[in-house]
Amino acid sequence: MTWDIATARAVMKYPPGDTTHDVALQTAMDVTLATVENLLGRGLFKQRETRTFYNVNRREIRLPRWPIERVISPKCRIVHHRVGWIEPQAWGSDCLVVDYIGGFDPLPSDLESALWGAFQTLYGTLDPVTGLPVQGGGATVIQ
- Cβ atoms 47, 68 nearer than 8 A: no
Report the percentage of the chain scoring pLDDT > 90: 75
Residue closest to 33 by CA, chosen among 127, 119, 136, 130? 119
More confident call, 1 vs 127: 127
What is the per-residue pLDDT for 113?
Answer: 95
Half-sphere exposure of 54 (CA within 13 A, CB side): 0
Report the pLDDT value the prediction gives residue 81, as an integer from 0 to 100: 97
16-40 pLDDT, tens digit each: 889 999 999 999 999 999 999 999 9
Closest CA to 32 of 130, 104, 112: 112
